[in-house]
């Protein structure tokens, strides 16, 4: 399971949002220096998100992302606001290893599939979701639906997580980053049962994201196995920033 330290950028600074809320932001400093520190500590790849672009579609922090690519020399997986095939292709052409498509992948699935086939292994699908109570209409307990969110997590797409996954089944995607927004930044543990269900219901390569608080959480995720299939990666953000574990400890736990 690959360890992907996360760096979220807003207004040129590394930040973390609580449960995806832009009103609940903590600033952690310079993203380039943090990236260099992570790589020096053993990170072999990075997950970089432009939060400003996620809301607006304008890549206002792209220069910082490219500086991270140039100075660290490790593969960078980059998302946030990439909402056209042209924008994705341009990002890949300037040295970004993989692009993460969220809103575009949900709203323009046909165009995204074409892009996935054009750049096999380099297009990652980002499916961020919230658990909402669906209306059963029968008076019986209402089922819980996992609704995919778009535009920087500010809007619901009206699409269930597993319906979104079905759009890309069998395609050569570089991974699917699945984030339970309710756990993001909470340091309360990952959605282990949810990832077991994902490995049971889809053959797509799944990357866990959200809730990791300790090396033990990473060891638990790394140990999940369903019919010989495991998670291919995990995004680790706030736990590293808050000193709950080091990059070295995270990488070692992912290798268990």
* Active site residues per annotation: 8, 128
Q: What letter does residue 140 receive in the DSSP assignment?
A: S
Q: Could you tell me which residues are beta bridge partners of residue 79?
A: 49, 100
140: tokens are 């019986």
Q: CA-to-CA distance for 148 and 161, rounded, in angstroms?
A: 6
CA–CA dist 105, 112 (Å, integer): 6
Which residues, including other chains, have CB under 8 Å from residue 122's CB and lie 6 or more apart? 92, 97, 98, 99, 174
Paired sense of beta strands 206-209 and 233-236, if any? parallel
Q: Is 97 in a helix, a strand, or coil?
A: coil
CB proximity list for 236: less than 8 A, separation 6 or greater? 3, 4, 5, 6, 212, 218, 245, 250
């Amino acid at each position: 399971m690959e360890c992907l330290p996360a760096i979220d950028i807003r207004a040129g600074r590394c930040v973390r949002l609580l449960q995806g809320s832009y009103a609940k932001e903590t600033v952690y400093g310079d993203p380039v220096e943090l990236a260099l520190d992570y790589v020096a500590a053993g990170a072999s790849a990075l997950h970089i998100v432009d939060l400003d672009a996620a809301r607006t579609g304008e890549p206002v922090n792209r220069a910082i992302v490219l500086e991270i690519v140039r100075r660290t020399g490790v593969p960078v997986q980059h998302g946030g606001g990439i909402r056209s095939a042209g924008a994705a292709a341009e990002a890949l052409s300037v040295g970004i290893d993989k692009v993460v498509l969220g809103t575009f992948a949900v709203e323009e699935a046909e165009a995204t599939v074409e892009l996935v086939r054009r750049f096999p292994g380099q297009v990652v699908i980002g499916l961020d979701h919230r658990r909402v109570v669906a209306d059963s209409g029968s008076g019986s307990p209402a089922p819980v639906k996992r609704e995919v969110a778009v535009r920087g997590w500010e809007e619901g797409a009206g699409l269930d997580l597993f319906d979104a996954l079905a759009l890309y089944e069998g395609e050569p995607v570089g991974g699917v980053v699945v984030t339970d927004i309710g756990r993001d930044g909470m340091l309360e543990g990952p959605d282990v049962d949810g990832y077991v269900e994902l490995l049971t219901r889809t053959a797509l390569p799944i990357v866990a994201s959200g809730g990791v608080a300790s090396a033990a959480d990473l060891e638990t995720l790394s140990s999940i196995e369903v019919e010989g299939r495991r998670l291919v990666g995990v995004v680790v953000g706030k736990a590293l920033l808050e000193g709950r574990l080091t990059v070295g400890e995270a990488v070692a736990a992912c290798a268990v």
